[in-house]
Structure 1
Amino acid sequence: MYGNHIATVGELTAALGRYDPATPVRFATQPHYPLEHTLGQVACTPDDATHNGTPPTDPPVVWLAVGEQVGYLPAPAADALGWS
């Protein structure tokens, strides 16, 4: 599973759709030194950005920000991500 990626909001929605909505969500980083974080803000550019009066021309992109570091990624999670 290592190397797969989710490129769109639709793919993210589909990937999360099989889980209970009350399940905690975490962001895993650094495969060789795995850490877990909560998710922070969600924003969309250019919609959520401050504009200077010029109409935006870039296509929209949704951004997921990393929140607080929780700790080291548990071994079962690293295994599930193919990072072991």
Structure 2
Amino acid sequence: MEALLSLDFTARDLIARLSSVDPDTPVRLAINPFFPVEHTIADVLATPDAFGRAVLYVVESAEQLGPVPPAVTVAAGWHEPTEVPRRCRGAVAAR
């Protein structure tokens, strides 16, 4: 998965990305790189911005599903890959 950092990501770009997946695949929003949370989508709306240019808005449904999976945050470039720390369940290390 490639990070989408450009403000010029267009409807054409979105259609191209979506054309390669099963149309019945659920779509989620990954919000906030510092506390990544997964949200459901209510709608996609086209409306003019403050300058009269057409803009496509992906509208959140206000339902949070929980943390974004680590693989998504890494692929988006939000976090570095990490591993869960190992736990020592044996004897306490000698001092």
Q: Same fold (TM over 0.5)?
A: yes
Contact kept in structure 1, 2:4 and 2:76, CA below 8 Å: no
Aligned pair count? 74
- What is the DSSP-based 3-state SS (H/G/I as helix, E as strand, rest coil) of the residue aligned with 1:11? helix
So what's the TM-score if we normalise by structure 2?
0.65
Deviations 1:16-64 (A, max 9, x none): 1111111111100111111100112221215xxxxxxxxxx92322211
Identity %: 36
Aligned mates of 1:21, 1:13 — CA distance in 2: 11
Q: Which residue of structure 1 aligns with residue 52 of structure 2?
A: 58
Off by >6 Å, runs of 4+ in structure 1:
none
- What is the DSSP-based 3-state SS (H/G/I as helix, E as strand, rest coil) of the residue aligned with 2:39? strand
| Alignment root-mean-square deviation, CA | 2.0
Q: Which residue of structure 2 aligns with residue 4 of structure 1?
A: 5
Q: Which has the higher contact order (CA 8 A, sep 6+)?
A: 1
Aligned mates of 1:33, 1:72 — CA distance in 2: 8
So what's the TM-score if we normalise by structure 1?
0.72
Report the structure number with the largest CA radius of gyration.
2
Contact kept in structure 1, 2:3 and 2:75, CA below 8 Å: no
